[in-house]
Amino acid sequence: MGSSSEWKAIAERSQEALNAKIPQAWRLPRYLLETTEKDVTGVPASSGILSEKELTITLCDATEIIQNIQAGTWTAEEVCLAFCKRAAIAQQLVNCLTEICFDEALQLARELDQYFKATGKLKGPLHGLPVSIKDHINIAGLRSTIGYCCWADNIPKEDAVFVKALKGAGAILFVKTTMPVTGMAIETVSQLWGRTKNGYNRALVSGGSSGGEGALVGMYGSPMGIGTDIAGSIRVPCAFNGLYGIRPSTRRLSYDGITSNVKGGRSIPAAIGPMCHSIRDTELICQVVTKAEPWKEDPGVVQKAWTSRPDIPRRLSIGVMEFDGVVMPHPPILRGLRDAVEKLKSAGHDVIAFEPYQHQRAWDIAYPLYYATGGKEMQTLLDATGEPWPPAAAKLSANPELRELPARELYHLFNEQDTYKKEYLRHWNDTSKLTSSGRPIDALLCPINPCASYPHDFLTWWGYAAQWNLLDYPGVIVPVGFVDKNKDLKDESYKPVNDNDKVHHELYDPELWHNAPISLQLVGRQFEDENLLAVSAVVDEVINRR
């Protein structure tokens, strides 16, 4: 076991080295660094660091950026410089980065511009697009730490398969982003990199475990981020930061080349996917990395081409679930969901009430599978430098039910999972009895979390996210608005149905949550990812009038 002070020295050295890579000209004045304002999303525009053109560039989605580079309106260097500046500002305000490669990224951008000028050709469909990458997705020569002090200098020698596809398509990987030491969908905080905050409301979390990506892309410090999801870790940060994203069915996109604290898990595998500013960006990345034929290198990927915008019914059948029967969502989530329902009905779509099917049972199966080793690997990595658990993760590790499971119990849980998946499929198919079309629902619209983010160090209910990981159903996040303290009053008449529900109900304070993004989740059936994105595009257009 390391000494009690060893981890502190490592963390201090790592953070100082990281922040030294921010050029002096891009450093915020003291009054902005010390502001007590919760919402800092306006700081990049008021800081004077970015030009008007750079502000315009950074507010575009990835598709529009690529179109402008291809048309010659913007150079790759101009785009890269704009996002390097904005990422530097985001780091100073919300602490979201683990690696900074501004100089290398700008040099690559210049080379791409020279190639385009000389040949009139593009390096690929993502030519010149800056992309940020979650910490534990391996990039050769850059650190993959998962926030552990003992892995502060862990430098993979080979790119992840997903990263190879991005590079091959002409993307510029310019920063890596923070995640919690557990690698799970809780708050993004570690002793190594510190706490990542939410730019819309710094009193609230940015989500986890891809919380650094959520915070950075939410601050428009990157047009596109790549995260991973085993219990909501793409969808939750997208929701808390007003972004679009997909947790695809596992094995649709390559997860090969990920640094992990626990390897070999099969029952609830993780997925990898984009976090961005539009549905079309989400589709673009899925299509590009699938076109690279990752199955030629990763045997875990399904050999299936990506079908862009498949035909779907003109009149959709959308199921709606407000409450999973375990923890009631807060008032702003319910308002966002009910407003969406009214807009879908007005647009002529078929909306039906979807009854949850034993969601507490799903969690009771999932939780021990997530921690089948009892968390021993995580504890060993912390002990190597004497590093303590971060607060929220400590609550998880202190659970007396957390223990290493023998093979007999694992097999029992695998069987319970298989049984539940079969029952849930039957439950989903039975919605055909309720729809006007006579077919099962095209997608399920529901919360992704009971809260529109939550306070630091709080341990939230994961059920709205982890439910679909257990079933391996894809999920897409669509932002629908912001919390309004004057509209989203606390429901004092509500009677909680259990202790967990009571804790969440008592937590809600309209003043605290004011201005936090409100987002919803659309869920589809396994391997129907393209259909789900096509449905999501229609729902997004109806709700947000895009």
Q: CB atoms < 10 A from the CB of 495, how many?
A: 9
3-state helix, strand, coil in the chain (%, to 5): 40, 15, 45
pLDDT of 216 reads 99
The CATH homologous superfamily of the domain defined by 6-299+313-364+419-544: Amidase signature (AS) domain (3.90.1300.10)
Q: For the residues 226-233, what does the mean pLDDT come to?
A: 97
DSSP, collapsed to helix, strand or coil, labels residue 369 as helix
Which of these is catalytic: 190, 209, 453, 536? 209
Q: Is residue 505 scored above 70 in pLDDT?
A: yes
pLDDT of 264 reads 81
Backbone φ and ψ for 423, nearest 5 degrees, come out as: -65, -40
Burial (CB count within 10 angstroms: exposed 0-12, middle 13-18, buried 19+), residue 305: exposed
Which of these is catalytic: 206, 222, 233, 536? 233
Q: CB atoms < 10 A from the CB of 327, how many?
A: 27
For the stretch 141-198, pLDDT in tens is 999 999 999 999 999 999 999 999 999 999 999 999 999 997 776 899 999 999 999 9
Cβ atoms of 196 and 237 closer than 8 Å: no
Q: CB atoms < 10 A from the CB of 375, how many?
A: 22
For the stretch 48-71, pLDDT in tens is 999 999 999 999 999 999 999 999
Contacts of 145 (CB under 8 A, 6+ apart): 98, 135, 136, 151, 152, 154, 192, 193, 259
Q: For the residues 250-276, what does the mean pLDDT come to?
A: 93
Q: Is 134 a catalytic residue?
A: yes
**Is there a cis peptide before residue 209, judged by omega within 30 degrees of 0?**
yes
For the stretch 449-479, pLDDT in tens is 999 999 999 999 999 999 999 999 999 999 9
Q: Is residue 392 scored above 90 in pLDDT?
A: no
pLDDT of 401 reads 79
Q: Is 157 a catalytic residue?
A: no
Q: Is residue 93 scored above 80 in pLDDT?
A: yes
Q: Is residue 308 scored above 70 in pLDDT?
A: yes
Give the whole-angstrom CA distance, residue 226 versus residue 232. 14
pLDDT of 4 reads 67
Burial (CB count within 10 angstroms: exposed 0-12, middle 13-18, buried 19+), residue 120: exposed
Cβ atoms of 361 and 325 closer than 8 Å: no
Which of these is catalytic: 85, 123, 134, 176? 134
CA 538 to chain centroid: 22
Q: Is residue 544 scored above 80 in pLDDT?
A: yes
Spatial CA neighbour of 215 closest among 275, 271, 274, 171: 275
What does the mean pLDDT of the chain come to? 96
Placement of tokens 């850059």 in the chain: 142
Q: Is 536 a catalytic residue?
A: no
pLDDT of 405 reads 94
For the stretch 313-351, pLDDT in tens is 999 999 999 999 999 999 999 999 999 999 999 999 999
Confidence at 1, pLDDT banded by 50, 70, 90: low
